[in-house]
Amino acid sequence: MLDWTDRHCRYFHRILAPSALLYTEMVTTGALIHGDSGRHLAYSGEEHPLALQLGGSDPADLAACARMAEAAGYDEVNLNVGCPSDRVQRGRFGACLMLEPGLVRDCVAAMREAVQVPVTVKTRLGVDDHDSYEFFSDFVGEVSRSGCSLFIVHARKAWLSGLSPKENREIPELHYDRALRLKNEFPQLTVVLNGGIRTAQEAMHHLERFDGVMLGRAAYQTPWVLAELQRLLEPGADKRTREHAVHAMTEYLGRQVRDGVPVRHISRHMLGLFEGLPGAIRWGGYISETAHLDRLNSRLLQDALEHMRSGSAPVHGDDIEWAAGK
């Protein structure tokens, strides 16, 4: 997600979900070819398996960027044709490309020819008034002629004008039935469902019918859902706690601070770690109010944890919970 899932966020998510496939925020071909490619491609080895998500519409440029991604060690390259923001429309990439299925087919074909790692596509159900199931299935059918066999489907259409990116994630109606129909009518394809999945239980329900699920906002706003889903998928796995995540991220924060990274660049991704628990407001408030005061305070997360504890009484269990205090 743009401006959200940077390398610090992904490192945090990897701690919570050791088995998840993580995706970068969308990076444009122009940024990689003409900008600081080293910065855009940088990641920690712990993030694997990791996919680079690209935005662009020129087959040659996308092929070149796919080669850069493969050389950098990414495990997958994903072409985003689902993002509805004004920025991507001006650059002729994202959801507006659903109106040009032949071009998307050529882009994916060029990328697949350039690399050995999987090339996948993230899409919506349609755009503006082009929102019938037939439009959607024709688009996927045409793009699949490139050889692409995995589609991540955000089960909403995109409004290219009149709605903000945030509104485009909430206002267009969800149509899981259309994604499921696609799965049934194209059994040779791998279909991953995205959009509106808020809890681990909802994810497990969808996994009964789809090949995979992708979590976006829920993973960012309530990140512990990743750990809950990990436990459901692998019951015998190590049951890490929120406190473990804080300690692990404190070690990471210390290393990053020594390299000059401001703490707020990392701590902002952890505001929702205790969402839904008593003490969550104290946790998030402390981080929000103090991260900017000392940009190199490597103890920020530990201090926030102690601040949360100071206003609450611990409850015994396999996780940190607090009986009182907001």
| Active site positions, annotated | 83
Name the β-bridge partners of 130: 127
Question: At residue 164, what is the residue type?
Answer: S
Residue 230 and residue 18: Cα distance in Å, rounded? 8
Other CB atoms within 10 A of residue 326 CB:
12
Instruction: Please state, in angstroms and as integers, the Cα–Cα distance from residue 40 to each residue in 44, 54, 119, 135, 253, following that order.
Output: 12, 11, 19, 34, 20
Other CB atoms within 10 A of residue 285 CB:
15
Name the β-bridge partners of 192: 152, 212
